[in-house]
Chains A and B, each alone.
Chain A
Amino acid sequence: MNVTLAVKQYISKMIEISGPGMKVLLMDKETTSIVSVVYTQSEILQKEVYLFERIDSQNRDNMKHLKAICFLRPTKENVEHLIQELRRPKYSVYFIYFSNVISKSEIKALAEADEQEVVAEVQEFYGDFIAVNPHLFSLNLQGVTRGRSWEPSMLARCTQGLTSVLLALKKCPMIRYQLSSDMSKRLAESVKQIITKEYELFDFRKTEVPPLLLILDRSDDAITPLLNQWTYQAMVHELLGLNNNRIDLSRVPGISKDLREVVLSAENDEFYANNLYLNFGEIGTNIKNLMEDFQKKKPKGQQKLESISDMKAFVDNYPQFKKMSGTVSKHVTVVGELSRLVSERQLMEVSEVEQELACQNDHSSAQQNVRRLLQNPRVSELDAVRLVMLYALRYERHSSSILSSLMDELSRRGVSERHRRMVQAVVEYGGKRIRGSDLITPTDAVSITKQFFKGLKGVENVYTQHQPLLHDTLDQMIKGRLKDSQFPYLGASSLRDRPQDILVFMIGGATYEEALTVYNLNRSTPGVRIVLGGSNIHNTKSFLEEVMSATGHSSSSSSSSRAHGGGFHSSRR
């Protein structure tokens, strides 16, 4: 159930099959992302893969001494490019791997183009998704929704992505979907259709408890992606933007050249792996420790190396020191930038009010706080808008809603027309009318007691009170209490036992906060393994674009899928 490992295994298998010798990896735009998320350049270099090329790149020379490993999505364009490539082969041998099911007719077309007999392998390796974390995958799709239904191409891509995850993990699941969302149902049916069609592929050894695929819709919980985050990974994504595990730091004032773009991959970065789910305060402490450790190891410039033992100690420490210095400078920069943004944008104050809006039920205090922050000039436009959005979602039907006056406040602040329209769009996207679950007001007795206790004792950390709706849903599911009326099974059969392997897919994109929730559920529930996926991993900005495109407010720019450039990066971390 480890998606990162699944992709890694696929890729190392590809390379292994091709045998020794210099190799080039031919990819398309999407597979470049898929590979680069799980492998660093230095890792893949060690496997004798020295060049990474795009199949559609014209700037490629004949290099007959190289073996080509082609890892491509089975799209029409790719097949066409490949046919051209095979007609005039640039490399000696071609090992072709498609990331999903390819049609027989396309195989034929390729075979007929291979007059020089350069193709040594044609296979399907189902790594058709971006494995962000071991339990989290994304498809990097933006704008999957049109109105309340699927953008047709996106439905196909999501189906492909989901089925490839199932094949990579060797799971043939029972499917549950969110009844309130028509899109969920469509996707569930589409996945089921593929499973039926490719029954040979899905013929796995039966497990005692069949795995479960749960398909959810983002519109059921529009609050989670609107909140500021305080755990490392989520925070980096919210404030700096994580794209295929890379952060663009070029806008950071006074950044040094080799830190313009840094890679944050838990696979290769121990500090990151240990800290990605810790909150900002803890990271601060850990960074301090890291620095102190580093200072100890750092050879001092003035320090005279007088004796042989000094020298020896220096030489022995140098490799560690060097390894460490990359990590230290990277994380110090990132955390430094985060804390700069936190203080510049007064995110502590903002987040406190956000959490109050999301978790508490005190309208008068909430409206006062929102109003107060809107008048604070240091609060950024985005934060101001998201406060109003949260208010609008939270107190949508409240009798004394002050939404209109808040909107006035926004325009007084000079918030752009586009942003102000977003408030309306968000309500349209995830308002009460749409929601199938009780996102905001808990109705059952347990939750009410919970609320009550919360009110009594106060909370430990005001910035991380919020639990995404997904937590409740999964919790209910693990306990076998998830209502069939809300989340029906596709088909007649239903699961009687406690579920063990759960795959959750969020149409419209998941968030890192939800990834954290799933991570914690995995760690706290024995025998249950959950993998979360989404059409994208959102931060507030990307979520708002998703909302705009879904509600038809979008300008043309946001409708196309976001450019997810690939490219490998040096292993320095």
Chain B
Amino acid sequence: MASSYLPPFEGTGEVKEGFLCPLCLKDLQSFYQLQDHYEEEHSGDDRHVRGQLKSLVQKAKKAKDKLLKRDGDDRPDTGSYESFYYGGVDPYMWEPQELGVTRSHLDLFKKHRAARIDHYVIEVNKLIIRLEKLTSFDRANSDAAKIRAIEKSVVSWVNDSDVPFCPDCGNKFNMRNRRHHCRLCGSIMCRKCMEFVPLPLAQKLIAGTREALCVPGSPSQSQSPPAGGGSSGMSSRRGSISSLSSVTSMLEEKDDEKIRCCHHCMDTLLKRQQKLEEKDHVPDIVKLYERLRMCMEKVDEKAPEYIRMAESLNAGETTYNLDTAGGLRLEVQKYYELIDALSKKILTLGVKDDPQPHPKVLQLQKMIRYTATLFVQEKLLGLMSLPTKDKYEELKEKRKQEQEKRLQQERLAAQEALKRRQERQERNRPPVNANGELPQAPREPRITKAGGWLPSADSVHTRGELEDPLLQQIENIQSFLRQAREAQRTDEVAMLEENLRQLQDEYDQQQTSIALALSEKLAQEESLQQGELHRLKTWEREEKEQWSSAVSSSEPSYKWERSLDITPTGGHQGEEDIPAEELTPKAERSPPSFRAFPALTSQEESPPRLRSLGGHVTPPGSEGQNNTSLNPFEEDDSTPTEDDPSNPFFEDIKKDHKEVTNGKKEYNPFDEDEDAEEDKPAETVSRNPFEDDDTDEGNPFLAASGNSPEVSTNPFDGDDKDEVLPDVDMIEEELLLQQIDNIRAYIFDAKLSGRLDEVDLLTQNLKELQKTLQEQKNKNKKH
């Protein structure tokens, strides 16, 4: 919308960009700020204004349409999206909305239910208590009259004469259709409507209710009723509850083993029994299902992590470890297998039982299985494969090169900017000179001074670094990192790496500022000296003043570039070192950051750490490497060439010449470590550097000349080919296996959805893959 309020070629002539408020043209930093601002400032008037403006726009458009006779059929649907121009919104993109109105009746419901439940519970408990009374004596050994008397004492029986018809079925009572009393409520029914509570059921109900009533209470109490209830086969009772129906069907007059009751009481008791049973019973399907869900949750948790890793690895980044990712992939795949197995088990639950489960049960099982397959399909298909180790190395290399290229470009740009700035400064200089300074005279002493000053300052520097708390912290974190990586805690690794990076940045900054302060101090001293010199050589200046201004514009600039590369100190720089610092952050910052690494090695001579720093996967490390690998190279090129021959002998270098160690650390310390340790698991990785070592030793000149990464990597590849071939095979095998897995999953999926043509195609592929795999294996054996 903003464009319609901002006629670009009118008014101030200034074209504003960014998050401008359409009404007051205030520039807000972000969308949200703009929104807030808009709501605060213009909520009142905006609609009006907007409406006016819009109607204006519409009128204009209408006029245009009329002029162009486009009026008739302006259905905006015909392919054009011009309607968006006005800012109208597709209903699909309407803003998020909150949940609609809801109203709960739960309180009311509970109130009514509570009243009802109390009544119901009392009813049930009454029945249970009576039942207990009825079963608490030894029925088998008591005579019928005595039983009857006890039964009558429990509940008062309804008078026979009051009930001429069976209240349930309505049949008339007579000699043949006799009255029966419910022992639990005393009511009367006919024989047909009569039911029996078998003793085992009664016992169970009583025991269950007692348990429920005094749950943690006294176990002795809950044990007592069976004890008092007669010792006639306690064990059999527990098991024979399910035979209830057979017992009731047995219509026998003698009530030894059962208690006569009416339909209603029976109903209540059965409900109660069912509830008791369900309380502890967990069906198989639930157990399996819970495990299934657990696996799914695990996958939901791990898969995104893996995908993140795989993406990063496939991009050649070194944030994650290839092995960790591989392990995670295996883990996730294991979960998929589990899900598959569990859901299959759920699908076939009870299928072989004789009375087939209810169709709905089967449907449920089918649905769970279907959901599991959908889940596997969706997530598994999103699992990208990892690069093979070789490929990964390649990717890493490629990325490194890209980064270097970028870095170089940046450096170039920085240099260019620097040059430009310098030129500008040079142009500004004449007035300074005119101030009365002699550019040439101080030059000679300055150079010597710089040569004398810098190394000492530098050495002080490095010594200071060892005690630097930041450095110690970095070290600590690095060791944590190593431990975490060993423990395969990827999230921690990521966090630590982040920390490390921050620390290193911080450290770099600190170093720069120290260097800055130092050079400032230098500059001050220098200027003091210069002042003296100045006084001493006034006569000289007077003589040479005339030509100095002419020369200074060209000569100093030449000197500047050189002095930057080698030693950033000097009289002139002292005066302007602050802009210079800003301009050459790379050149200034990287040497200190570098020094951190050799410092480490010297402090604690642990090769594995070095490897983890130099050769492994830490992104800050690698970035550091890139920084380091660049600058020292240049130094190597420009500065003493006599270092080069000594390159292969690292120990010497380490002790002798820190700068060079830095340069070599890129490749060589790494190699050396491998050399020393001969790690077996890292064979594939170590092979390359190893070989490089060989070539290095064979013709040291190649290494010396090939210090730049472009040259050094290529020989690796070229030479590796014969040697690493078995490795490639091995990895291809791995990949093949992966593919076979994938294709199997697809086949399964295709079968499930009944796409036979796909199944055929896939099986064919599978076969081919397997054949290839076999061939590979054979080849390997030959090797």
Binding site for B on A (CB under 8 A): 1-2, 5-6, 9-10, 13, 20, 22, 42, 45-46, 48, 50-51, 53, 59-61, 63-66, 92, 101-102, 104, 107-108, 110-112, 114-117, 119, 121-127, 133-135, 167-170, 201, 208, 231, 258, 266, 273, 277-279, 282, 299, 301, 304-305, 308, 311-312, 314-316, 318-319, 322, 450, 453-454, 456-457, 459-461, 464-465, 467, 497-498, 516, 519-529, 571-572
Contacts and interface: CB of A to CB of B under 8 A. Distances in A.
Contacts of B724: none
Nearest to B105: A122
Nearest to B360: A61
A454 B112 contact: no
Given A312-B739, A450-B71, A526-B54, A51 B360 contact: yes
Nearest to A88: B271
B24 interface: no
Contacts of A457: 69, 72
A523 B54 contact: no
Contacts of B736: 308
Contacts of B371: 42, 45-46, 50
A311 B739 contact: yes
Contact of A9 (B84, B100, B361): B100
Contact of A526 (B77, B88, B363): B88
A200 B289 CA distance: 43
Contact of A464 (B75, B89, B739): B75
Contacts of A66: 364
B355 to A, nearest CB: 12
A102 B108 CA distance: 12
7 contacts: A51-B364, A65-B285, A123-B104, A282-B78, A312-B739, A315-B746, A521-B88
B83 A201 contact: no
Contacts of A169: 97, 100
A571 B375 CA distance: 13
A461 B73 contact: yes
Q: Which of A45, A279, A523 has most B Cβ within 10 Å?
A: A523
A201 B102 CA distance: 8
Contacts of A450: 71-72
A456 B98 contact: no
B367 A123 contact: no
B213 interface: no
Interface string B362-401: 0110011011001101000110110000000000000000
A119 to B, nearest CB: 7
Given A114-B116, A311-B769, 14 more contacts: A10-B102, A48-B293, A53-B360, A110-B109, A112-B113, A122-B105, A305-B769, A308-B732, A312-B385, A456-B69, A460-B72, A520-B76, A520-B77, A524-B83
Contact of A315 (B89, B358, B361, B739): B739
A278 B117 CA distance: 60
B275 A116 contact: yes
A520 B743 contact: no
A562 B50 CA distance: 46
A59 B361 CA distance: 11
B293 to A, nearest CB: 7
A279 B78 contact: yes
B91 A2 contact: yes
B358 A522 contact: no
A-B pairs with the 3 shortest C-beta distances? Answer: A111-B112, A168-B100, A61-B358
Nearest to A203: B101
Contacts of A92: 278
Interface residues of B, number: 86
B51 interface: yes
B170 interface: no
A45 B343 CA distance: 14
A111 B91 contact: no
Contact of A523 (B76, B112, B732): B76
Contacts of A464: 73, 75, 78
B113 A63 contact: no
Given A59-B360, A123-B103, A314-B765, A319 B381 contact: yes
Interface string B78-111: 1100011011111110101111111111101111
B88 A524 contact: yes
A521 B83 CA distance: 9
Contacts of B289: 22
Contacts, number: 244
A279 B77 contact: yes
Nearest to B112: A111
Given A117-B113, A516-B77, A64 B278 contact: yes
B155 to A, nearest CB: 22
Nearest to B55: A479
A360 to B, nearest CB: 12
Nearest to B365: A50
B761 interface: yes
Contacts of B71: 450, 453-454
A115 B117 contact: yes
Contacts of B51: 498, 527
Contact of B286 (A1, A65, A110, A121): A65
Contact of A308 (B99, B100, B735): B735
B77 A277 contact: yes
B3 interface: no
Q: Which of A50, A127, A279, A461 has most B Cβ within 10 Å?
A: A50
A170 B385 contact: no
B73 A459 contact: yes
Nearest to B84: A523
Contacts of A528: 88
A408 B104 CA distance: 62
B234 to A, nearest CB: 28
A116 B113 contact: no
A167 B103 CA distance: 11
Nearest to A2: B94
A197 B404 CA distance: 74
Contacts of A453: 66, 69, 71-72
Nearest to B82: A524
A115 B79 CA distance: 61
Contact of B768 (A42, A61, A305): A305
B54 A63 contact: no
Q: Which of A20, A279, A318 has most B Cβ within 10 Å?
A: A318
B742 interface: yes
B78 A461 contact: yes
A107 B89 CA distance: 42
Nearest to B760: A301
Contacts of B92: 134, 266, 273
A479 B91 CA distance: 20
Contacts of B111: 111
A558 B67 CA distance: 51
A304 B772 CA distance: 13
B447 to A, nearest CB: 60
B109 A122 contact: yes
A50 B364 contact: yes
B359 interface: yes
Contacts of B739: 308, 311-312, 315
B55 to A, nearest CB: 9
A228 B73 CA distance: 18
Interface in B654-707: none
A167 B96 CA distance: 16
Contacts of B768: 304-305
Nearest to B764: A301
Contacts of A6: 97, 100
A499 B18 CA distance: 31
Q: Which of A92, A311, A529, A572 has most B Cβ within 10 Å?
A: A311
B283 interface: yes
B753 interface: yes
B453 interface: no
B173 to A, nearest CB: 30
A316 B84 CA distance: 36
Contacts of A273: 92
Contact of B94 (A1, A110, A116, A123): A1
A126 B100 contact: yes
